[in-house]
Structure 1
């Protein structure tokens, strides 16, 4: 087994410091080679974490810098500066990080942390820090890795990352054996992980007006939108088929007028204030709807 390590001559005891990783940055090979030999230069990626890397007297809060194709990494505690004021070489850093994130993902699912009554999970990033001592945010590198690990769990149907939590829905085949047929159905929330385009929501039993939903994915709704339209997101998917309107998603468990209002709001038939409260801006390839009247 071969790896790199730093040795001290005639040390009576190893000199070590407790460290907490608050973010992960991955550089390409050339950038990492340059950085590894010029730790005292200023770097934008260190500046991005200048306020988050510090020594609180008990441990150093650090940025982990990795290189593409590299196993090892470098811990940086800049203490407000834009260079590696304090640094430490961490052998096998990539594998250590992967193993820890995989362990946390399994515990979140198998331990049912944040489970709700309908078999889904909502677990806040603060809760992950408290229970597992893992610092997570949507953009700190760790959040993206944990999202991928959660999506890879066989029990998981879909995962949506918000600004402060993960919303996780269970894969339908993992429903309890004694669950009713309706309890084993996918929800609209689960389907959002499939990046839906040009679809139509219809009530399974009652006819109602229909509007085309141009785009519906994990980033479509704001946190407030997910709360205000939670009944629509929890609707059970009975079937998906090509119908008179195109791709139609027939659902149950939600009032027909709510399905109609949700679809029309997404089509722009709501006030600008409602739109900004409920929905994020569409992706670059999707034309934003024109705001209509009150839904």
Structure 2
């Protein structure tokens, strides 16, 4: 573990802060920032609106880190493109919230759900019901990439109940939603989706 030591410090005055955004940089770029924090960097300039000190004296910062690194740098640039205010953090694990994946949220039963992509507009089909029992083992294997998608947020929006996802191809989200809505061959639906003989009215109409 590494730390920064100041020679004959006059005082230590810890400040309240909040992480507005996390930027995971290539390891070499992050190392360059640590060595030359007074240089201007485009990724700092592009995120100026994320950094400010509010009326309560709380610093809203970027958290910079590098691929494969466990340390980081808190930055409040005060409308500049360089690290005008910065604090080195030897271990950032306590500053990063655990990532929730779609499969983690399926312990709850979701009804009339619409899956959206964080960055790309998709046309979501309404998923009538979705929980940990919806897919068969074959279905879970076939749609592993979608189930492993990161959940950005869940909210009520234009389509109703919406879940915004990241780290998955937009086309796969559309295909997954369409499949659960019945827009797939009957053979695929029966292979991937658990059949409930006691509730046939809840099964969507098959579209060939």
Q: TM-score, normalised by structure 2?
A: 0.56
The answer to whether the 8 Å contact 2:50/2:60 transfers is: yes
Matching of residues 142-157 of structure 1 within 5 Å: none
TM-superposed deviation, 1:9: 3.7
Residues in 1 aligned to 2:119 and 2:140: alpha-carbon distance in whole angstroms: 17
Q: What RMSD, in angstroms, separates the aligned Cα atoms of the two structures?
A: 4.6
* Stretches of structure 1 lacking an aligned partner (at least 5 in a row): 123-158, 176-182, 196-216, 241-251, 261-295
Aligned to 2:118: 162
Aligned length: 165
* Stretches of structure 2 lacking an aligned partner (at least 5 in a row): 121-126, 147-167, 193-201
TM-superposed deviation, 1:66: 1.2
The answer to whether the 8 Å contact 2:52/2:61 transfers is: yes
Aligned to 2:79: 80
Aligned to 1:205: none
Q: 2:49 aligns with which of 45, 48, 51?
A: 51
Matching of residues 1-295 of structure 1 within 5 Å: 2-6=1-5, 9=9, 11=11, 14-58=12-56, 59-93=58-92, 95-97=93-95, 100-102=96-98, 105=100, 109=104, 115-117=108-110, 161-162=117-118, 170-171=131-132, 175=133, 185=136, 192-194=143-145, 218-220=169-171, 231-232=181-182, 237-239=189-191, 253-256=203-206, 259-260=207-208
Q: 1:189 to 1:82 in 2, by over 3 A?
A: farther
Structure number with greater CO (CA < 8 Å, separation at least 6) is 2
Q: TM-score, normalised by structure 1?
A: 0.42
